[in-house]
Structure 1
Amino acid sequence: MDSNSTMHTPAGNAVELTILMPCLNEAETLAACIRKAKRFLATSGVEGEVLIADNGSTDGSQDIARAEGAQVIEVPQKGYGAALSGGIHAARGRFVIMGDADDSYDFLNLHPFVAALRGGADLVMGNRFRGGIAEGAMPFLHRFLGNPVLSLLGRLFFGVPVRDFHCGLRGFSRDRMLALDLTTPGMEFASEMVVKSSLARYRIVEVPTTLSPAGRSRPPHLRTWRDGWRHLRFLLLHSPRWLFLLPGSLLVATGVSGMVVIATTRPTLGGISLDVHTLSYAGAAVVLGVQMVLFAALARLLGIRNGWLPETARVRGLLDALTLERCLVVACLMFALGIAMSLRAVGLWVSQDFGALDPSQVMRWVIPSVTLMAVGGELALSGFFLEALRLPVARK
């Protein structure tokens, strides 16, 4: 939470479970949700509390919550993530189960979440696809495109054993979640919780849960394309390997292979002759690919330095090997080779008494030489940038 938010520490008389609901103008459904949560606590024998993290409601939701016997915490910073973060800080429970206050989640059946938390899970995700989604409860795009795709990317990028990445009903150990220092104020908070738990090697399990149509008449706060993009952006920025390294490596491999083949032969593809025009595109692919690979190293070091990416022995070894001096040596060698190839192109021009040249012949030297010099320059500058990122953080 930032300086505009109020930080809260749990009061005395700690309990086992806090059922946390973020709230922004949920007067139509809030009472029903609180009653179901309190009924669960009463019938299950779990010692707990119901906590409403209000995000500036103007419809009297706060008074409704207090009248139903729930605790209310005011979170001035706007946003779904800000409300949840404030609620987690204020919770008295050893465990927290969070869920929306729109009456779409089943607060009467939290037993699987509590059992998994008691069994040692750090994060327990609900799976609505396994538990059942009532007709009209989830928009078509969310059900068949957004959630499946983002869940697939979460498993691919981070190895998260979750098939419903954005289920809003989830439980976790309060202390373990606070240790992650979650910071995003918006809807992407849901992704941050899962991603950082995975990067921290937390134990994540999934249990079935149900989803019903929301009981309110107003439109949801969620905006499909805007919030979907924010989730995707968060996933990509926390995975330099998939955002930069792998596509960059593919570009380099494809570009180098293409340059070698075209520069040394006159290949044809499906009857189409590949000449220096294709060679120039291959060179551009190499330049862009190298830049992406270097961005992967820069982003990884920046993430480790600022605490949003973990440091492993393998990654540390690779970054330690990428010193400024080594970058400069390799950059100078590449630049020198590029100059030599340029001189060869000049030699061809001299042999023609500085007259007209055959572009197909001379550009086979010029394009690789320019590519080598450009990559050498990128490597040298990135070496200095890496070294700048390694400087000690100045104390204020």
Structure 2
Amino acid sequence: MSNAADTDTIELTILMPCLNEAETLATCVEKAQGFLARTGIDGEVLVSDNGSTDGSQAIAEGLGARVSPASRRGYGAALINGIDTARGRYIIMGDADDSYDFTNLEPFVERLRGGADLVMGNRFKGGIAPGAMPPLHKYLGNPVLSGIGQLFFRPNIGDFHCGLRGFNRARVQELDLQTTGMEFASEMVVKSSLARYRIEEVPTTLKKDGRSRPPHLRSWHDGWRHLRFLLLFAPRWLFVYPGLVAFFLGAIAVAVLAFGGGVQVAGFGFGVTTMVYASALCVLGYQALLFFWLTKLYATQEGFLPASPRYRSIVARWSAERGLLIGLALFVLGVIIGIVQVVRWGSLDFGAQDAVTAVRIAVPSALGIILGFQTIMMSFFSGVLTTPRRESRPEALIES
């Protein structure tokens, strides 16, 4: 990670990601500079350029802003570059389309000076001008995604995707943010929440942007990317909770129908056909739990998810060998049940069997074999993920 300086030389960097914003960039830079001059804050205006071809760089430099070219394309890539090259202890970031109010940043600075790690703007509290936000975003996209984000991560903010936000640069760099696209906005909030950072919000306004061209944002595409990101960073909601429900419902149903025979509920009969579908539900739930474990292992190994002390203690006690023994036990149990069924069939001279009785024994046998085999394969895979390795490979190997 490269920084502009070894030590902080100024208090505040106002950071603007930029991709062909010649129509509005000058207005944004002048407003930000005016804020710094009016408040007397020691700061800079930094434009992280994402490959503009409309002369945005010259406009920013002509007004005295510092321009830092981002080598990779993408909203997140531009912001990561800006964060790495900023000189301020604090950073306030906002789009360069003249939709955010760069003249009224005092509430952000006050909260940052007061010890907040991340200060989010809330456009719904501050006011959204007519035409500034499409109805699809205002009444569906933002409320739904903000609600899901609040449910999963509890950041206690009402506008999960506000682009005007301030943060402590050193604290955010510790999060090792990775995403280079629009998901970056969600990643910052999610990782700050998981790291138990102090997150606060202040009202801010949103007005219609000053561009004549369409915005870079694509509603359904980027909305799905944000939702997918929230789900991937909440493996308990994606895998554990539905997996536990499916596994235990299926397992209980199989056990009841295997040992208790048919069941009547409100005049409806449940028998071996239900057992077959219940076993499928049990397998699906078990697969979801295995996927959670593998996802968590990979995500923590690669730095996408933080590892809690509780999780570290579980991983320390876990080993691929233990998983193999558990899987082998389930597999052998299923095989034994199958052998018992073959023996019973032999007692009938391998003649015709009662179909209901045969299925009632075959389903638990197959279930044990399947769950055991899955556990064995998962254990081998988890062993690969947890094998100690070097932090990085030589450049020559990477290039080859």
Normalising by the smaller structure, the TM-score range is: over 0.9
Amino acid corresponding to residue 41 of structure 1 in structure 2: L
Query: Is the 1:18–1:93 Cα contact (8 Å) retained in structure 2?
Result: yes
Greater shift in the superposed pair: 368-377 or 295-304:
295-304
Aligned to 1:333: 329
CA-CA distance at 1:269 after TM superposition? 4.2
Amino acid corresponding to residue 60 of structure 1 in structure 2: G
Correspondence for 1:14 among 9, 32, 39: 9
Amino acid corresponding to residue 305 of structure 2 in structure 1: L
Q: Distance in 1 between matches of 2:281 and 2:162?
A: 39
Q: Distance in 2 between matches of 1:383 and 1:64?
A: 57
Aligned to 2:239: 244
Aligned to 1:367: 363
Aligned to 1:306: 302
Pairing 1:316–2:312 present = yes
Query: Is the 1:8–1:86 Cα contact (8 Å) retained in structure 2?
Result: no
Q: Distance in 2 between matches of 1:132 and 1:373?
A: 59
TM-score, normalised by the number of residues in structure 1: 0.94
Would the alpha carbon gap of residues 8 and 78 (structure 1) be closer, same or farther in structure 2, given more than 3 Å must change? farther
Aligned to 1:162: 157
Would the alpha carbon gap of residues 165 and 13 (structure 1) be closer, same or farther in structure 2, given more than 3 Å must change? closer
Q: Distance in 2 between matches of 1:173 and 1:318?
A: 32
Would the alpha carbon gap of residues 11 and 384 (structure 1) be closer, same or farther in structure 2, given more than 3 Å must change? closer
Correspondence for 2:134 among 134, 139, 152: 139
Amino acid corresponding to residue 291 of structure 2 in structure 1: F
CA-CA distance at 1:202 after TM superposition? 1.4
Q: Distance in 1 between matches of 2:222 and 2:121?
A: 20
Alignment of 1:194-273 (within 5 A): 194-263=189-258, 264-273=260-269
CA-CA distance at 1:11 after TM superposition? 8.4
Aligned to 1:88: 83
Amino acid corresponding to residue 121 of structure 2 in structure 1: G
Would the alpha carbon gap of residues 13 and 322 (structure 1) be closer, same or farther in structure 2, given more than 3 Å must change? closer
CA-CA distance at 1:8 after TM superposition? 5.2
Amino acid corresponding to residue 349 of structure 2 in structure 1: D
Greater shift in the superposed pair: 147-156 or 373-382:
147-156
Aligned to 1:4: none
CA-CA distance at 1:231 after TM superposition? 1.3
Q: Distance in 1 between matches of 2:293 and 2:7?
A: 46
Query: Is the 2:97–2:210 Cα contact (8 Å) retained in structure 1?
Result: yes
Aligned to 1:97: 92
Amino acid corresponding to residue 148 of structure 1 in structure 2: P
TM-score, normalised by the number of residues in structure 2: 0.93
Alignment of 1:334-353 (within 5 A): 334-353=330-349
CA-CA distance at 1:34 after TM superposition? 1.2
Amino acid corresponding to residue 230 of structure 1 in structure 2: R
Q: Distance in 1 between matches of 2:320 and 2:152?
A: 29
Aligned to 2:67: 72
SS in 1 for 2:12: strand
Pairing 1:23–2:23 present = no
Q: How many residues align?
A: 391
CA-CA distance at 1:385 after TM superposition? 1.9
Correspondence for 1:60 among 34, 55, 58: 55
Query: Is the 2:8–2:88 Cα contact (8 Å) retained in structure 1?
Result: no
CA-CA distance at 1:111 after TM superposition? 0.7
CA-CA distance at 1:251 after TM superposition? 1.0
Correspondence for 1:392 among 384, 388, 394: 388
Query: Is the 1:95–1:171 Cα contact (8 Å) retained in structure 2?
Result: yes
Q: Distance in 2 between matches of 1:199 and 1:286?
A: 31
CA-CA distance at 1:387 after TM superposition? 2.1
* CA RMSD between the two structures: 1.8
Aligned to 2:38: 43
SS in 2 for 1:309: coil
Aligned to 1:149: 144
Amino acid corresponding to residue 144 of structure 1 in structure 2: Y
Which ranges of structure 2 fall in alignment gaps of 5 or more residues? Answer: 394-400
Aligned to 1:296: 292
The CA deviation string for residues 114-150 of structure 1, in whole angstroms up to 9 with x for no partner, is 0000000111100111111111111122122221222
Query: Is the 2:118–2:168 Cα contact (8 Å) retained in structure 1?
Result: yes
CA-CA distance at 1:372 after TM superposition? 0.8
The CA deviation string for residues 166-213 of structure 1, in whole angstroms up to 9 with x for no partner, is 000000111111222212111001011111112222111111111111
Q: Distance in 1 between matches of 2:181 and 2:300?
A: 23
Aligned to 2:115: 120
Aligned to 2:398: none
